[in-house]
Amino acid sequence: MNIRLAEAKDIKQLIRMRWDFTIEYDESKRNASFDNFEKECQSFFENAINSGRWFIWVAEENGKVVSHINIELIQKVPRPGRVTYPFAYMTNVYTVPEFRNMGVGSKILKIINKWVKENNYEFVIVWPSDESINYYKKNGYAHCTEPMEYFPS
């Protein structure tokens, strides 16, 4: 298994995986237009891969992307008296069903955790689903106090 950062050649697979991930957890989205989604997602992944702000980690087996984790670096406003490092926002964590419970996601997380430490990122934040809490816990993540939200009406 090869774990690496995503490249342009992976975009079609990433789009399909994002679609499958959404449908798996929300059947009501099945009737959405795949063509419209594909165009929007293609643009997003092209920009993300080239941005230097997004890091899309993939696990590849025999040329097929079987798992991925998306990380966006969030820059913080500098503070006097200390060096300010960005933090990492983790999202869209997904492993195709036939590769689940085989340690693939944990292998990616291990590499990401090392990368976070080596680059002095302050912390990683992720909003886990109820089903994924134990996955994160066994990989060194801990619950934190919920953030506040504002939804404009």
Q: Give the Cα separation of 92 and 94 in Å (integer).
A: 6
Cα within 13 Å of Cα(4), Cβ side: 12
**pLDDT, position 75:** 95
In this model, does residue 130 exceed pLDDT 90?
A: no
Alpha helices in 26-151 (DSSP H): 34-51, 104-118, 133-137
Query: Is position 88 within any domain?
Result: yes
Q: Give the Cα separation of 79 and 65 in Å (integer).
A: 40
Query: Is position 152 within any domain?
Result: no
In this model, does residue 147 exceed pLDDT 90?
A: no
Query: Is position 67 within any domain?
Result: yes
**pLDDT, position 111:** 97
Using a cut of 0.75, tell me whether the model's pTM lies above it. yes
Query: Is position 143 within any domain?
Result: no
Query: Is position 146 within any domain?
Result: no
Query: Is position 151 within any domain?
Result: no
**pLDDT, position 26:** 85
- Structural domain of residue 94, as residue ranges? 2-137
Q: For residue 135, what are its two tokens?
A: 């996955």
**DSSP conformation class of 143:** -
Query: Is position 149 within any domain?
Result: no
Mean pLDDT rounded to a whole number for the chain: 94
Number of domains in the chain: 1
Query: Is position 121 within any domain?
Result: yes
Amino acid code (one letter) for 36: N
Across the strands, what pairs with 105? none
Domain at 122, CATH number:
3.40.630.30
pLDDT digits (tens, 9 = 90+) for 21-62: 999 888 888 888 999 999 999 999 999 999 999 999 999 999
Average pLDDT (64-85) is 95
The answer to whether 69 touches 48, Cβ cutoff 8 Å, is no
In this model, does residue 69 exceed pLDDT 90?
A: yes
pLDDT digits (tens, 9 = 90+) for 108-127: 999 999 999 999 999 999 99
